């Protein structure tokens, strides 16, 4: 059985689904029990790197839960980490992208000197839902003159069209929608 199938099974068991959080109708995937397991975090980072090995120079991690997996991958793959942060957190000149969430709207920012033109970035987050967050992250990458090597997430929420919305970019989800 491939390594990644084992990771998917372990992840499925560890994620806690919370109905009606943070608002009615949302089935919230809480990854806190995953982040409490260093073995599982390491295996997720390994699965990301196995999937995209040799195709990226930097990792972009999306605030806040994406920072956990992005940092783990950065340390494992020995690649620099770039932070995509919520509005108003980063000093200095920034690129900015607004987006719509499953439960609200938000703005992501990246420091202008965080990427070099031509860099290939692997964009990492915990959960893919509508794809609005990762699309905004991709806008930041493009604004810096860099390229998206692909998107890597732990889990995808079914029925929200996130994977399709990011096409033709490669999206790898350890737990696919379904």
Ligand X SMILES: Nc1ncnc2[nH]cnc12
Ligand Y SMILES: O=P(O)(O)OC[C@H]1O[C@H](OP(=O)(O)OP(=O)(O)O)[C@H](O)[C@@H]1O
127 binds ligand X (CB under 6 A): yes
**Part in contact with ligand X (CB under 6 A); list of ranges 22-30, 68-76, 136-144, 167-175:** 22-30
Is 102 a known active-site residue?
A: yes
- Token reading at 149: 């090597």
Q: How far is the CB of 54 from ligand X (least distance, A)?
A: 30
What phi, psi does 139 have (nearest 5°)?
Answer: -60, -40
60 binds ligand X (CB under 6 A): no
Residue of 3, 12, 16, 27 that binds ligand X (CB under 6 A)? 27
Of residues 69 through 88, those in contact with ligand Y by CB under 6 A are none
Q: What is the DSSP string of 13-54?
A: HHPEEEET-SSTT-EEEE-HHHHT-HHHHHHHHHHHHHHHTT
129 binds ligand Y (CB under 6 A): yes
133 binds ligand Y (CB under 6 A): yes
Give bridge partners of residue 111 from the DSSP assignment: 94
At residue 20, the 3 state secondary structure works out as: coil
Is 116 a known active-site residue?
A: no
- Residue in the structure block whose two tokens are 């994406």: 66
29 binds ligand X (CB under 6 A): yes
28 binds ligand X (CB under 6 A): yes
How far CA 130 is from CA of 33, 44, 73, in Å, comes to 23, 22, 24
Select which of 43, 58, 63, 65 is catalytic.
Answer: 65
Among ligand X, ligand Y, none, what binds residue 89 when CB lies within 5 to 8 Å by partner kind?
A: none
Q: 45 near 69, Cβ under 8 Å? A: yes
30 binds ligand Y (CB under 6 A): no
Terminal Cα-to-Cα distance of the chain (whole angstroms): 21
Catalytic residues: 65, 102
């Amino acid at each position: 059985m491939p390594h990644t199938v084992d990771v998917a099974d372990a992840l499925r068991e560890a994620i806690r689904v919370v109905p009606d959080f943070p608002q009615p109708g949302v089935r919230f995937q809480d990854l806190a029990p995953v982040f409490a397991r260093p073995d599982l975090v390491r295996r997720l980072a390994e699965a990301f790197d196995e999937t995209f090995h040799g195709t990226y120079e930097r990792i972009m991690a999306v605030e806040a839960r994406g920072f956990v997996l992005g940092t783990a991958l950065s340390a494992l793959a020995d690649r620099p980490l770039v932070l995509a942060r919520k509005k108003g957190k980063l000093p200095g000149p920034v690129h900015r992208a607004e987006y719509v969430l499953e439960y609200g709207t938000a703005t992501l920012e990246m420091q202008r000197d965080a990427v070099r033109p031509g860099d290939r970035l692997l964009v990492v987050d915990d959960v893919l839902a509508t794809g609005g967050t990762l699309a905004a992250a991709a806008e930041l990458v493009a604004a810096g003159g860099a390229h998206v090597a692909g998107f890597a997430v732990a889990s995808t929420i079914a029925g929200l069209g996130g994977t399709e919305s990011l096409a033709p970019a490669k999206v790898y989800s350890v737990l696919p929608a379904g």
